[in-house]
Structure 1
Amino acid sequence: MKKVIGITGGIATGKSVVTSYLRAHGYDVIDADAVVRELQEVGGALYIAIRDTFGQAYFLENGALDRAKFGALIFSDPVAREKLSAVQDNIIRTELLRRCETSSSQLVFMDIPLLFERDYTGFDETWLVYAPQEFQLKRLMKRNGLSEKEALLRIKAQMPIDEKRSLATRIIENCDTIEVLENQLASLISEI
């Protein structure tokens, strides 16, 4: 029987490091952000939905979505963020479910940043990649070259990481070295 584990966290908590480890060890990881980017490509289902909902102002001359401009809108305007969620939610859920069902692996990990915020269900377990907000802030500013204000807007656009902590089946602490993180992952995998 297929086992499905939902992985979530907050922005800059280290989900990418966790999923890279899982992939490197041969596990099937479905990345919701990558699926969204695919669906946002010219002609994709989300591309069409975004264009129809928000208009041409968020698209480049070559027709591609202007990710920087659109991201600035979504992370600064809660009304626009909710509007986007309403438009894209069913499209994303349908595609994620399709990919999970067609996976030949008996253990599938689904990396879904908004797993709790959007009430995704159907997992055998949910794993939270956890780092305190001060770690998130420093990592995000460094990684994306953002000001503290810009980074905080992105962090605040998500459910507080400590609230997510109370909802997860298992917690992956990511406040130490990569080696410590990888040891945690090896231990979690051996338990399932």
Structure 2
Amino acid sequence: MKKIIGITGGIATGKSRVSAFLKSHGYEVIDADLVVRELQAIGGRLYLAIYDTFGQTFFLENGELDRVKLGDAIFSDEKMKERLSVIQDKIIRQELLDRCQASKADVVFMDIPLLFEKNYAGFDEIWLVYAPRETQIERLMKRNKLSRVDAIKRVDSQMPIADKRALATRIIENCDTIDVLEMQLITIINEM
């Protein structure tokens, strides 16, 4: 029987690093962010839905989705964020479900940043990649070259990381070096 493990966290907590580690050890990881990017590519289901809803506002001259402009808009306009969320939610959920069902692996990891916020269900376990709020802000400023105000705005747009801790099956602390994180992951994998 297939085991499905959700991986979540907050922005800049290290979900991608955990997913990359799992992939490098032969595990199948379905990355919701990558799925969304595929669906947002020219002609994809999300691309068409965004175009039908907002027109050319968030598209570059070459026809591609302007992710930066769209991201800036949704992080500064709550109504637009909600409208886009409703449009995308059904398409994304169905695609993730289809990919999970099609998998032949015994263990499938699903990296879903908004797992709790969007009430995803059906997991045998949920692993939370945790970093304190201040660490998230600092990482986001460095990674995305954002001002502190913009980094805080993005962190605060998600459910507080402390609230997510109470909902997870397992907490992966990502507050130290990469080596410490990887040793922790090896221990967790050996316990599966």
TM-score after normalising by structure 1: 0.98
- Correspondence for 2:169: 169
Structure 1 residues 23-54: Cα deviation after superposition (integer angstroms, max 9, x where no partner): 11000000000000000011100001111112
Do structure 1's residue 143 and structure 2's residue 161 form an aligned pair?
A: no
Q: How many matched pairs?
A: 192
Q: Secondary structure at the match of 2:153?
A: helix
Do structure 1's residue 6 and structure 2's residue 2 form an aligned pair?
A: no
- Correspondence for 1:34: 34
The Cα shift of 1:134 comes to 0.5
- Correspondence for 1:66: 66
- Correspondence for 1:180: 180
C-alpha distance in structure 2 between counterparts of 1:166 and 1:55, whole Å = 40
Name the amino acid aligned to 1:15.
K
Do structure 1's residue 112 and structure 2's residue 112 form an aligned pair?
A: yes
Structure 1 residues 114-134: Cα deviation after superposition (integer angstroms, max 9, x where no partner): 000000000000000000010
Do structure 1's residue 97 and structure 2's residue 97 form an aligned pair?
A: yes
**121-130 or 48-57: bigger deviation:** 48-57
* Percent identity for Structure 1 against Structure 2: 67
The Cα shift of 1:183 comes to 1.3
Structure 1 residues 4-33: Cα deviation after superposition (integer angstroms, max 9, x where no partner): 000000000001110111011000000000
The Cα shift of 1:113 comes to 0.1
Q: Secondary structure at the match of 1:109?
A: strand
CA RMSD of aligned residues (A): 0.7
- Correspondence for 2:20: 20
- Correspondence for 2:153: 153
The Cα shift of 1:63 comes to 0.9
What 5-or-longer segments of structure 2 have no aligned partner? none
TM-score after normalising by structure 2: 0.98
- Correspondence for 2:50: 50
The Cα shift of 1:104 comes to 1.1
Q: Secondary structure at the match of 1:63?
A: coil
C-alpha distance in structure 1 between counterparts of 2:186 and 2:77, whole Å = 40
C-alpha distance in structure 2 between counterparts of 1:12 and 1:75, whole Å = 16
What 5-or-longer segments of structure 1 have no aligned partner? none
